[in-house]
Amino acid sequence: MADTANGALGGVQRTREEWEQAARALLDEGQNFLAHDTCREGLRAYPDSHKLAVFGAIALSQTGAVDEARRLLKPVLDALLVDAGPFLRLEECLKKAVGLAGQAGPDSLAAMVELAESLETVRGRKLGATADAETYTALARVFRESWMSTGDCHDLDLCAELQLRAFHTARNPRDGVDAATMALLRGDRNAARDLARQVEDKLRDQAGQEPGQPAYMRYRDLATLGLAQLLLDEGEAATATFRRAAAVDGAGYPVEVNTLKKLELLLRGGVAVPAEIADLVRPPAVVVFTGHSLDAPGEGPHFPPALEAAVRAEIARTLDEIDARIGYSSAACGSDLLFIEAMLERGAEVNVVLPFALDDFIAANVRYAGPRWEMRFRNALKLASTVTYATEERYLGHDMLYRFANQCLHGLATLRSGFLRANPTLLAVWDMMPGSLVGGAADFIDQWEDISRLRIIDLDGLLQQHPDLAGDGPAFALPDLGGDAADEGEGRVIRSLLFCDIAGYSKLKEEHVPVFLDFLAELRRGLSRLDAQPVAINTWGDAIFAVMPRAGDMAEFALTLQEAVERADAALADRLPYPLSLRISLHAGPVFEAVDPICGRQNYYGSHINRAARLEPVTVIGHVYATQQFVAVLTAEQSALRSEAASRGEAFVERYVSEYVGVLSLAKDFGRQTVYHLRRAAPPPDGVPAAAAQDEPALG
C-alpha cells in the first residue's frame, strides 16, 4: 500500500510520488514559486523525501535564493555525501602506525590507540552513498546556481562530481552534456570532449526521431546533441541541429529557456557559439498589458462596445508579431479581457493582477458592461495561471489603487522575465489622449521605462476607420486625474512600511536601559547619513515603525538600519550583556494618512499597517523580509532606474537582491503572505565570469 497524507493543495490526499511528480512538473513549466510552495507543503507530509527537498532547493536557487536552497539541502547532503574527513584521518593514523611498526615505546602505543579510535569513527560509514540519477542531477543544478551566484570553486567541484555521478548512474545524454560543461568550466577540456563525444555517439542518429515522442522531448534531445557538437567544436553541425530543434512545434518555453542557460555556460567556458544559434534559441516573449475598458453609459466614445471585434483582431495580430508566450494583465471588461482571451487562444500563460477586492472590482470594472462580460471575467480568472491581488481591501473610490496595481503588475512581470532571461514588452490599447484616469493606459505608459519595448494599438485610429461604430453621443475626453494630487486619494496613499523588532530586548535588565538608549542613539547616527528619511517614524520599546513614499528608499533605510545595529553592537559590546539583532519586515500598500487627533501629528492607519506588523514576528532574526507587493514595487522602480542609466550611457549597478522565501503564515492568524528575503547585491565575486553579472543575457 502506498503512503498517503492529506495534501495542502485543495485538501486532496497525495502519495509521496504524487507530491514529487507535481513539484517536478511545476519546475519543468518554469513555475519556480509554485514548485517551491508545493515542495514545502509536501515536506510537511513526507519530511524524509529527498526529492521534494531537492526540487524545492532548485526552485529557490533559480529565483536567486541560494542560501535558503543550501539550508534546505543540508539533510540530503548529509545522507548522500558522507564527510570524507574521518576516512582521511584513518589514513593518516594508519600511515603513522605502519611507520612505527616493530618499535616499542609510548609513541608506538599512542599511534595504535589513535588508530583504534579512528577505526571506531568510520565504523558503519560509507564514503559515498548512492542515489538515483534524477536526485544527483537536481543537486547538481542547485550547486551550479550557487557557483554562478558566489563564484565558490567548491560549489563548482561539487556540481561537477554530482553531474558525473548522474551520468554514470543512468547514462542519460542530458546528464552527459551537463557533466561535460562542468568539466569545461573546471578547465578540464579533455574530459569535456570525451563526455561530449559519448553524448554525440548516442544521439547522432536518434535525436528527434523517435515516433510518438512529445515535442518538448524531441526539442530537448536535439538541443542536447547540439550542445555536445559545440563542445566538440563542430559549429556547422551544431547550427544544423539547432535549426531542427527550432522547427519542433509546441516544445514549450521552459525547455527553450533551459537550453539558453546551457548555451550561456558554454560561452563562459570559452566555446564559440555561432550567431545563428543565438537567433534560434531565444527567451519567451513576456507581455505586460494595459488598455481602455469598454465605455460606460454616458462616456466616450473611447472604446464603444461595437468596436470589440476590431480591437480583438488587432490584439491577436500584435501578439502574433511579438510571439507572446507569457502575459500579465488586469481583467476589466474591454481590452483586458480581450487580451486574456487572445493569450488563452494562443495556448499562452496568463497572470492576472487585480487592484482590490474581487466584488468591488466586478462592480466597478465589469458588471456595467452586462452579464456576458461578467461571465467572461469569471472564466478568465478560472483559466489564468495565477491571480494576484495588489490589495485585497475595498476600493472605496480611491483610483490610486489602479496605479498601485500597475506597479505590482510591472514588478511581477519584470521579476519573472529575469528568471527567463527575457525583457517584458508593454502592449497598450490606447486612444492616444494624454489625459487619463490614474492607473489608466496613459498613466501606465508614462511609468514604462523603455519605449523600445512598447507597442500601442491606436483606439482613436480604429474609431476613425470605423466611424459608424462611434455612436451618436457627443465625444468628450476623460478628465485628467494624473499627477501627484490624485495620488493623495482623499487620505488614502500608497506607502512603503517598515516594522522592526530588536531581538533580545526583553531579556535586558533595568540597569541596561541607559545603554539601550545609547544603542538607539547609535542607530540614529547611522541612519542620519541617508538622503531620504521616513515621512513618519515611531518607536515602542524595542519596536520601530517607519513610513516612506518609495520602496527603493525604504530598502536602503532597512538595510542601513541592519548594518547600523552591527556597528552599535561593536561600539557597546563592553556595556551590553549580549549582542542585539533585528527582525525587519517591509510591505507596500494603500494606507490612510491623517493627523492623529490625540497626538496631533501625522500618522498612518489601515489593514496594511497590520499586515506589515504581522510579518515581522515570522521574520528570521538578522534578516529583512519583504512582501511580494513591496518587492514588485521595488523591482519596477529599479527597472526604471536601469533604463534611465542606459539612456545616459551609464552602467547600472544592482543594489538589492530579493530571494524568494515562500508563502508564510503571518502572526496572529492574519492570513498567508508571499515573502522574499531582501539583501544587498554583492559585487561579482572573483571567478565568476563577467556575463554572470550583466543586466542583459549573453544570448537572446
Greater confidence (247 vs 114) lies with 247
Assign 497 a pLDDT band (cuts: 50, 70, 90): very high
194-198, 371-375, 570-574: range with lowest mean pLDDT: 570-574
List CB contacts of 64: < 8 A, sequence separation 6 or more.
149, 657, 658, 659, 660
CB atoms within 10 A of CB 392: 14
Q: What percentage of residues in the chain have a pLDDT greater than 70?
A: 84
Note the pLDDT of residue 223: 94
CB 296 within 8 A of CB 304: no
pLDDT of 472 over the 60 cut: no
Q: What is the pLDDT of residues 200-226, one digit of tens each?
A: 998 887 765 666 788 889 999 999 999
Note the pLDDT of residue 228: 95
SS3 assignment, position 700: coil
Note the pLDDT of residue 402: 93
List CB contacts of 210: < 8 A, sequence separation 6 or more.
217, 218
Query: How do the domains of the chain map onto residue ranges?
Result: 85-122, 171-282, 285-487, 492-693
Q: Does domain 171-282 have CATH number 1.25.40?
A: yes
The fold of the 492-693 domain, in CATH, is Alpha-Beta Plaits (3.30.70)
Average pLDDT over residues 437-449: 83
Beta strand pairing call for 492-503 and 454-458: unpaired
22-26, 420-424, 482-486, 520-524: range with lowest mean pLDDT: 482-486
pLDDT of 476 over the 60 cut: no
Cell of 233: 567544436
Note the pLDDT of residue 469: 64
The fold of the 285-487 domain, in CATH, is Rossmann fold (3.40.50)
Q: What is the pLDDT of residues 451-463, one digit of tens each?
A: 889 999 998 888 8
Average pLDDT over residues 326-336: 96
CB atoms within 10 A of CB 396: 15
Assign 449 a pLDDT band (cuts: 50, 70, 90): confident
Note the pLDDT of residue 128: 53
Q: What is the pLDDT of residues 397-408, one digit of tens each?
A: 898 899 999 999
Residue found by looking up cell 538622503 in the block: 531
- pTM of the shown model: 0.76
31-45, 108-122, 189-203, 509-523: range with lowest mean pLDDT: 108-122
CB atoms within 10 A of CB 698: 20
Assign 556 a pLDDT band (cuts: 50, 70, 90): very high
pLDDT of 690 over the 60 cut: no
pLDDT of 697 over the 50 cut: no
Average pLDDT over residues 385-396: 92
Residue found by looking up cell 522602480 in the block: 637
Annotate 196-255 with DSSP letters as a single string. Answer: HHHHHHHHTTTTTTSTT--HHHHHHHHHHHHHHHHHTT-HHHHHHHHHHHHT-TT--HHH
Q: What is the pLDDT of residues 125-161, one digit of tens each?
A: 554 556 778 778 878 887 887 788 778 888 898 889 8
Closest CA relative to residue 294, chosen from 283, 302, 285? 302
Dist. CA 142–CA 132, nearest whole Å: 16
pLDDT of 695 over the 90 cut: no
Assign 79 a pLDDT band (cuts: 50, 70, 90): low
Dist. CA 283–CA 285, nearest whole Å: 6
Greater confidence (229 vs 296) lies with 229
Greater confidence (694 vs 586) lies with 586
Residue found by looking up cell 521605462 in the block: 449
Closest CA relative to residue 419, chosen from 258, 196, 199? 258
pLDDT of 693 over the 50 cut: no
Work out the mean pLDDT of the chain and round it to a whole number: 83
Average pLDDT over residues 378-382: 97
Dist. CA 146–CA 682, nearest whole Å: 13
Dist. CA 256–CA 251, nearest whole Å: 8
Note the pLDDT of residue 379: 97
Note the pLDDT of residue 436: 57
pLDDT of 634 over the 80 cut: yes
Q: What is the pLDDT of residues 647-670, one digit of tens each?
A: 888 888 888 988 877 777 777 767
Greater confidence (118 vs 531) lies with 531
Closest CA relative to residue 549, chosen from 641, 619, 634? 634
DSSP strands (E only) in 40-143:
none
Q: What is the pLDDT of residues 277-325, one digit of tens each?
A: 988 998 999 999 999 999 888 776 788 898 999 999 999 999 999 999 9
